[in-house]
Amino acid sequence: MYDLGDPEELDRGPEQDAVRIAVLLNHPDAYTGSMVASYLESTGAEVHTFLAYDGELPDPDEFDGIVGSGAPYSVHGNDPWKEAEAQLYLTTDRPVLGICFSHQLMAEAYGGVSGKAPGYDLERGPTTIHLNGHDPLFKGLAEDITMAEHHVDEVLAVPEDFEVMAYSDNCGVEAMRHRTRPVYSVQFHPEWAAQLEKEGMENQDGNMLLDNFMDMAREARVRREASGLAKVGFAIGDYFRHLFGDR
């Protein structure tokens, strides 16, 4: 399991450099991607958006984390921009969070399968998500959380190097993670927490998940820049965290 540490242990103080996040926009409308960027900026992150659908991608080394947004497209086809984005997910060592379309694209990139499930209908609106075990991405969340959904396709077969982190009554792979790399993806839309509130549901689950991802990205930067002795300390902490769990 890839462990980036406990987000609650990190200093969120203003003296700390802002975490740098690249948000990939996968549709000209950019609605979902813009919501992700807007929320992250509201928390103090330094956010840069890239028109991935037009072939524009970031240099991963310039960022602490990467978020791939949703889109009303199928991930299938030989579109060069999709292939380029998939290659980014395969090669970067930065923490990655793929959402909806990007979740499916990531599955395909790593050898999984996505498409319409048999007898599947459009899933839209608030959905109860069941979490499998503990993970830093879900730090502080209950075993059952509420997230917004809007999709037709889904991940049908998880890549060999991934494990399922969450499921719902209608979708067997609501979230997955790489077993050894900081690569995560979710079928639901955590950035739509504000939309759920507009519908009368007081819910911060999506915001908490995005906060956790930013903390993971910040922690990954601290590890990259740490001295040799500090790296030993991280390794010891990881060992005990593996023994006793993430929360």
Q: Which residues are catalytic?
A: 100, 189, 191
Q: Cβ atoms within 10 A of the Cβ of 63, count?
A: 22
DSSP string over 180-239: SSSEEEESSBGGGHHHHHHTT----HHHHHHHHHHHHHHHHHHHHH--HHHHHHHHHHHH
d(CA 70, CA 76): 14
DSSP-derived secondary structure for 83-149 = HHHHHHHHH--S-EEEETHHHHHHHHHTT-EEEEPTT---EEEEEEEEE-S--GGGTT--SEEEEEE
DSSP H/E element including 45 = none
